[in-house]
Structure 1
Amino acid sequence: MNAPFGPATGRVERWARTAMLIGAVVLFPSALRAVVVNPSVGNWLTAVLAVIVVVGSTVSALSAWRNRATVRSVPAKVSPAEVAVPDVLAAIASSSGRIDAIKRLRQMYPGLGLLDAKVLVEKQLPGPA
């Protein structure tokens, strides 16, 4: 989820995941030491949880670093004039309500703004808006 706020957010996310991995690796030996000193059920559960956290953090950090160069394209802006009326009617027909119709229309036209989709749907819906 690097794209919504630009490259700086992706950078922060990568380093946060890396810091979490480092923290998990630093705390991991103390969990294992507790099992060796006192092999109780609670200590074993803590050790198992520590292993899960280390593995999960490793996978998360590696995927964040691996995908750092992935460029996510932003769809081109679509003006309401470019949206065909039959598509608006199809979105309304296949939906359960006004909000669902707006969502479906925006899925059909990814660059269409929320307000523009709302206006288009409400023009085609019978009854008061």
Structure 2
Amino acid sequence: MEEIRSAGTPCQKWYRSEWFERWVLSLLVVNIVVQIFPSHVRTVRDDPTPGNWMLLMLSGLTLMVSTAYMVRLWVTHLTATTPAEAVAPQAIPEHDIHAAIAAASDRIAAIKLLRDKHPTLGLVPAKNLIDAHTNP
């Protein structure tokens, strides 16, 4: 999916982007709703042959699948959040570390309590903090 430029930095082709996929699919759904589906409905109304009914059902199925996929793409895009920055182990107050150790029955439970209190603290930094305060 990525190409490498001559300088070694990755670039993405414009037609392989999420932005392009969302908007092209949105335009396709609008085109199906405004032009294609009503045209097939009129054709079935004027000439109700099995072939015309098949085209109507196929365009309806295409509309449903395309709309579902488009909604999923837009919801994913609109609800995407940037991950919170990890907190530095030095920023964790001493009393939080001691409280986690005091409230826990073992080392693993203390690490869990400390990470519950500070969700952006990584597993290894939490382990190191607990170990540093339990092993003098």
- Please report the TM-score for the alignment, with normalisation by the length of structure 1: 0.48
Q: Which has the larger radius of gyration?
A: 2
Greater share of residues in strand = 2
- Please report the TM-score for the alignment, with normalisation by the length of structure 2: 0.45
Of structures 1 and 2, the one scoring higher in RCO (CA 8 A, sep 6+) is: 1
